[in-house]
Amino acid sequence: MNKIRLAIADDHPLVLDGLRSLIEDASDIQLVITAENGASLLDKLRNQESDVVLMDIDMPVKNGIEATRDIRQRYPQMKVLVLTMHDEPAMIRELVNDGANGYLLKNCGRDELLLAIRTVHEGKPYFSGEAAVKLLQWSDGPAIPEELKELTERELEVLKGIAEGKSNKEIGDALFISHRTVDTHRTNLMKKLDVHNIAGLVRIAMRNGLIE
């Protein structure tokens, strides 16, 4: 029986060591790559392809969201299983849209971790109970106001951050994008909403209930 070739990307050595110990007794899984960030992972994948990547989100150089997008483009058959502490519905939705095959929270146990790896390897999606509930809550959430229907999910997040008085850097850090990308979204928001300054964006956000 061919073993599942597993790669793990996480910037915390203790987490890497812990995950290594959790899977070492699994006879059907072989750890072939460990990496401290998404860039290092992609570099190592050039020489050692994997079947499943266990991916953290918060990593320096290239975070898990960016790495997931790159993997989906370069290695479409490879499965990506996100392992993170983040349970925000928008974050889960974004990673699913970017091609993640599963989403697991770091409070899971060994049995669930192994089940998730095996499930996504078989081509089936896997979401921890908490993540599945968050996705359901997101999809059943309130309808988007008519005035904001043309905005993308990311533009809505940026608009909310602007209305809360956050800087481009603060918004970018929260959404795992660069401050330049935030600036581009802000420009697009002004065009779509036909306003010419930040005050106009804030008024629209307040009018549509994005902030109190």
For residue 181, being part of any structural domain is answered with yes
Q: Is residue 135 located within the same domain as residue 150?
A: no
**Domains in the chain, number:** 2
- The CATH number of residue 171's host domain is 1.10.10.10
For residue 165, being part of any structural domain is answered with yes
pLDDT single digits (tens) 94-143:
888 888 999 998 888 899 899 999 999 999 888 876 666 656 555 545 55
pLDDT single digits (tens) 32-64:
999 999 999 999 999 998 999 999 999 999 999
For residue 60, being part of any structural domain is answered with yes
Q: How far is residue 10's CA from residue 123's CA, in Å, rounded to a whole number?
A: 23
Contacts of 130 (CB under 8 A, 6+ apart): 87, 105
Q: Is residue 124 located within the same domain as residue 24?
A: yes
How wide is the angle at C-alpha 79 spanned by C-alphas 175 and 38, nearest 5°?
Answer: 45
